[in-house]
Amino acid sequence: MAEAATTTRPAGDPRWAPPHPRGAVLTVEGVVEHGDQRGRLLGFPTANVALAGTGPGDGVWAGTVHVDPSGGGPLHVAAVSLGRRPTYYGEDGERLLEANLLDFTGDLYDRSVLVRLHVRLRPQQAFSGSAELVAQMQRDVARTRAWAVGAGLGHLLVAPPR
């Protein structure tokens, strides 16, 4: 079930935008930054977009990522984490959006992305270690694939849902 989110832009932060009219709860636009590459090491590479301050929606979401939206780039289904990465950084971690674009290979560093969060899968939570986190991430990706098929976005997937 999607969590309701406020859609006003925090003062001075141009990366927050109003929701997409076709059901996105929250939309974030930004440039993909270099991270610590932990997602890649865990088998789930992510496109990282820094977020200023606090905002609505921390958790893991099923959504979409439009790469280079002003240039007509491709749309991808993504499992998206929004929050402070509590397994590794606790409550003191930098607030970050991390999007794992399903079935994508390539380099997104320094490219513009428009991320639409559609369905909140679960809240942020700390895990006992990487193995427990990876098992949960596999479930999150499976739920994201199922959401995409149900939302009519199955054509964007290469690998079928399991």
User: What is the per-residue pLDDT across 33-91, written as a single tens digit (0 to 9) for each?
Assistant: 987 765 666 667 889 998 866 666 788 999 999 999 999 899 999 999 988 765 656 56
Q: How far apart are the first and last CA of the chain?
A: 21
Give the range of the structural domain holding residue 44, as residue numbers without chain letter.
16-149
6 domain-assigned = no
At 110-127, the pLDDT tens digits run: 999 999 999 999 888 878
Question: pLDDT at position 120, please?
Answer: 92
Average pLDDT over the chain reads 78
Question: pLDDT at position 157, please?
Answer: 93
74 domain-assigned = yes
> Per this entry, what is the length of the chain?
162
160 domain-assigned = no
Give percent of the chain with pLDDT exceeding 70: 71
Find the range with the poorest average confidence among 12-16, 32-36, 50-54, 133-137: 12-16
Q: How far apart are alpha carbons 160 and 96 in whole angstroms?
A: 28
If one counts the domains in the chain, the total is: 1
- Whether the pLDDT of residue 5 is over 70: the answer is no
Question: pLDDT at position 22, please?
Answer: 56
59 domain-assigned = yes
1 domain-assigned = no
Question: pLDDT at position 87, please?
Answer: 61
62 domain-assigned = yes
CATH number of the domain encompassing residue 26 = 2.40.30.30
Pair 97, 51: CB distance under 8 Å:
yes
Query: What is the number of alpha carbons within 13 Å of residue 4 lying toward its C-beta?
Result: 1
